[in-house]
A = this chain, B = another copy of it.
């Protein structure tokens, strides 16, 4: 995986600008400009020199200057209703939005591509001076996600993604601990054959949650079963088929998120099993839907909106150059929302 440090660094003198590229390539400023924006109007040989220089220096054109001069921003303003409460991410964004708004900041949301890499233009924005800071948010991200943009060396914060290894403070849920506690409660009420429904294991949250699950099983000397999904409804439903095919069907299934849990419930209900009598099911996230399945889904709710707000505050703090936070991870506790998909978990000790 390409790490930040392999990418060209900004010099101590600040962002590299077109004039730097020009002198590096030993051409005039205007020629450098043309080489980049109207390549066909420049001698091939010179063009290559410029391009090479730009690459070597890690040049990113300053978006503000460009749009000021050209009168074109290549940017669209999308106006939407306030963030709706759907899924953790939206909840989180609501918190982010509110906080940034009240601090007088705007937000450019750049989605990653389907393969979770950052688009080229995102990187330009990050390094081209149009933004003051970066908030990387992700809950279902494989490792190696938005890193290239972080090479902008701008103040940055991770939300629901652990970037602390890169020196970027991150706001996270206590996935491992919370799942472990929940698992222990399931054991405490007598469940003995427990399964975990997870996702491809390069996902931070899956790793953590599965670890929490395993921790508790090991403590009791129980053996874990693992089912595979990919965080969406359909994969949960497919996993149900796998579950039904087991000779010794687990009597409790801990899912890595709500969506899979909901799909899973549909699958096993359709087969005539009773929830929670035959199998207890739990989710993770605490989306609004969880209260509207039948039975309702017991889940670990992430206080997403607060986490969003916290991450935004943190970022603003970094931008304003106040004393950097003493922590690298801000861990927020998930909250257990108990519903019909599990028997009463009672006062099982945490």
Interface flag for A125 (CB, 8 Å): yes
B105, A76: Cβ atoms under 8 Å?
A: yes
Judge if A149 is at the interface, Cβ distance under 8 Å.
yes
Is B96 touching A78 in the complex (CB atoms < 8 A)? yes
* A73 to B108 alpha-carbon distance, docked (Å): 11
A121 — nearest CB in chain B belongs to which residue?
Answer: B106
For A110, what are the chain B residues with a Cβ–Cβ distance below 8 Å? Answer: 77-80, 106-107
Q: Which of B73, B97, B262, B269 contacts A111 (CB 8 A)?
A: B97
Instruction: Return chain B residues, CB-CB under 8 Å to A130.
Output: 67, 73, 75, 77
Known: A68-B64, A269-B294. A75 touches B118 (CB 8 A): no
Choose among B122, B132, B135, B292 the residue that contacts A263 (Cβ–Cβ < 8 A).
B292
- Near B by CB (< 8 A), chain A positions 237-253 give none
Copies in the complex: 2
**Do A84 and B87 have beta carbons less than 8 Å apart?**
yes
Contact present for A80 and B111 (CB under 8 Å): yes
A146 within 8 A of B: yes
Report whether over half of chain A's contact residues are helix, strand or loop; otherwise say mixed: mixed
CA distance A263 to B130 in the complex (A): 43
Q: Which residues of B contact A97 (CB under 8 A)?
A: 111
A336 within 8 A of B: no
Report yes or no: B89 in contact with A84, Cβ–Cβ below 8 A. Answer: yes
**Which of A69-87 touch B at CB < 8 Å?**
71-84, 86-87
**Cα of A78 to Cα of B312 in the assembled complex, Å:** 10
**Distance (whole angstroms) from the CB of A87 to the closest CB of chain B:** 5
A114 in contact (CB, < 8 A): yes
Given the interface pairs A64-B68, A86-B86, A109-B107, the reply to whether A233 lies near B77 with Cβ below 8 Å is: no
Q: Whole-angstrom distance between the alpha carbons of A107 and B109 in the complex?
A: 7
A113 contacts B by Cβ under 8 Å: yes
Q: How far is the CB of A107 from chain B (nearest CB, A)?
A: 5
- With contacts A67-B64, A108-B108, A233-B291 known, is A125 near B82, CB below 8 A? no
16 contacting pairs across A/B (C-beta < 8 A): A64-B68, A73-B130, A73-B132, A76-B107, A77-B108, A77-B110, A77-B149, A79-B111, A79-B146, A80-B110, A80-B111, A80-B137, A82-B114, A97-B111, A106-B110, A293-B293
Closest A-B pairs by Cβ, 3 of them? A64-B68, A77-B131, A64-B67
Give me 17 other A-B pairs in contact (C-beta within 8 A), A72-B132, A75-B106, A79-B122 excluded.
A73-B130, A76-B312, A77-B126, A77-B133, A77-B134, A78-B96, A78-B107, A79-B109, A81-B111, A81-B139, A82-B116, A84-B87, A84-B89, A97-B111, A106-B108, A106-B125, A289-B292
User: Which residues of A are at the interface with B, using a C-beta cutoff of 8 A?
Assistant: 62-65, 67-68, 71-84, 86-87, 89-90, 93, 96-97, 100-101, 104-114, 116, 118-119, 121-122, 125-126, 129-141, 145-146, 149, 233, 262-263, 266, 269, 288-289, 291-294, 312, 315
